Amino acid sequence: MFVIPAIDLREGACVQLVGGSYEEERVRLDDPLEVAAGWARAGFTRVHVVDLDAATGRGSNAATVRAIVGEGSLEVQVGGGVRSTEAIRELLEAGAARVVVGTRALEEPKWLASAARLFRGRLIVAADVRGRQVVTRGWERGIARDVLEVVETLNAYPLAGVMVTAVHREGRMEGTDLELMGEAAARSKAPLYASGGITTMEELRTLATLGVHAAILGMALYTDALDARLVAEVFTQ
């Protein structure tokens, strides 16, 4: 199982939010490129970059995203407000390894089918959840679908992965929903990416045994609750 550090972008800075709330920002680092370089020095080979402003309609960090992607020392997957075929193409052409799509992919299955065929094996669909209910548009809108149902419908597409994020647990340092992640991994034909609240090495080992392909880590790394070098050493393959 891989562990992938998250670089969440807000107003040009790298931040960590609590519970997906813009009102609860716990970490702010002004140089996201240096953050990415730091994860590379720690031994990580991938980063997960999210433009929070684009996801929530508050703005864009496109220049910063392009700079991280273009730096070249890390494999980068990018998401946050990616809602057009052209946006996907531009990110891939800029050097992104994979692109994460959420809102439009979940709300418009015909568009997802077309994009998945066009960019076969390069898209990760993000299913953000509060409890078991899927939320979209920067976590502001709930749709009346259980996340496991959504995961099963995504088996029809040639995806690079499915990412399930327990938004209500993000940044709280209280652990993730291991039961949910295990069930999602079992039902998904695509590699399962788990995110939201992961805090301990024990949790990471459990996720690996549950068949999770990769874990996205944020607050636990940024606050040194987990030793980045140790995590990278154990979970980079």
What are the tokens at 74?
Answer: 């890390």
pTM of the full predicted structure?
0.93
Residue 12 CA to residue 2 CA, distance in Å, equals: 27
Residue 227 CA to residue 59 CA, distance in Å, equals: 33
Q: Please give the residue that has the higher pLDDT: either 26 or 158.
A: 158
Handedness of CA 192, 7, 43, 69 (dihedral sign): positive
Residue 28 CA to residue 15 CA, distance in Å, equals: 4
Residue 139: predicted pLDDT: 44
DSSP, collapsed to helix, strand or coil, labels residue 52 as helix
Q: What is the pLDDT of residues 181-193, one digit of tens each?
A: 999 999 999 999 9
Residue numbers annotated as active site? 8, 128
Contacts of 208 (CB under 8 A, 6+ apart): 1, 235
Q: Give the chain's domains with CATH numbers.
A: 2-234 (3.20.20.70)
Q: What is the pLDDT of residues 108-128, one digit of tens each?
A: 999 999 999 999 999 999 998
- Confidence category of residue 204, pLDDT binned at 50, 70, 90: very high
236 DSSP 8-state letter? B
Rg (CA), the chain: 16
Q: Which amino acid is at 138?
A: G
Residue 21 CA to residue 117 CA, distance in Å, equals: 34
CB contact at 8 A, 230 and 210:
no
How do beta strands 133-136 and 141-146 pair? antiparallel
Q: What is the pLDDT of residues 136-187, one digit of tens each?
A: 654 455 455 789 999 999 999 999 999 999 877 776 777 899 999 999 999 9
Residue found under tokens 């568009």: 111
